[in-house]
Amino acid sequence: MPAIDVVGEFETIQRLLKPLAHPEWARGLADDVAVLPSRPGYDLILTKDAIIEGVHFLPDDPLDTVAQKLLRVNLSDLAAKGAEPFGYLLACHWSERCGWPEREAFVAGLRRDQAIFDISLLGGDTVKTPGPASFSATLLGWAPSSSTVSRGGARPGDLVFVTGTIGDGWLGLQAAQGALSLEPERMDALEAAYRTPMPRVEFAPVVRGLATASADVSDGLLADAGHIAEASGVGMELDLEVLPLSAAAQAWLDSRVDPQGALELLATGGDDYEIVLTVPAGAEKALRREAERRHLRLTRIGRVVEGKGVIVRHLGQEITPTRIGWTHD
């Protein structure tokens, strides 16, 4: 149904988005730019992601959770680089179904996560489109000068770790599409993981201080570990049987007749927004201590070796996964 009761772009900005704006740097969203003061001793870190209806979120996903996911997938990138977020630029491409109530819901999601992650809107653009709704955010963060972790620093002998659990994002999509059958509380947990993943912002200082290389798990654990291996010019051995799983994912795995194949699906499905990182072997104790302080699950999943690419093992046997992860074709 076409949207009604939307007066225009500027009313959306004034009534909905202006209250989210940074009180100084965004210039009240009345200018074409935001003006940020410099921060001596720090680098400005930027990242940008877009999400499109029917590709990155479902047409019936609530728009407040769509807004939260938009911010969180970007916050995850900053966390994996060891950066502290402070603001964002926003582009909204409203579809015909995005009336005033839908726009209010979207902004409510933004407001919720601004409070959680202590960030502010700095500016952006809003337009209408005859196609599906899409949204884009550019997140900005600070990191002490020359401290930002890249994908290219892993060295043979390093250990490979991942935060949190893996596979809930992919399983959550299956649940949201009605393609999964588990107990209701399991289904609810998985759908929440898909719609509102939790970026590991609190772990950013640890990544910055201890990691030799890192990436967020958006395309799938195997794919993103592979990005680190490629950028670093090393090989990486990963053990599939130690994949950290939530209770819901474990329940799903227990129901499968092919555990290895099921683990491959979880390790390649993507949308987890955890951090995969490499650290020197001597830093393992400190890394685990920092994770425990933050009550964050941390799992050692492999090692960095001489060579090229990712070698996947299951119960000691090398395997060839049927796929590595999500690709943006």
User: In what side-by-side order are the strands of the sheet with 120-128?
Assistant: 42-52, 134-144, 84-94, 120-128
Model confidence over 44-86: pLDDT tens digits? 999 999 999 998 999 999 999 999 999 999 999 999 999 999 9
Q: What is the mean pLDDT of residues 231-260?
A: 96
Task: List residues bridging with 216 in a β-sheet.
Answer: 275
Q: How would residue 157 be classed by pLDDT, with cut points 50, 70 and 90?
A: very high
Q: What is the DSSP string of 195-223?
A: HS----GGGHHHHHHH-SEEEE-SS-HHH
Is the Cβ–Cβ distance between 325 and 222 less than 8 Å?
yes
pTM equals: 0.91
Please give the share of the chain, as a percent, with pLDDT higher than 90.
Answer: 83
Average pLDDT over all residues of the chain: 92
Model confidence over 200-211: pLDDT tens digits? 999 999 999 999
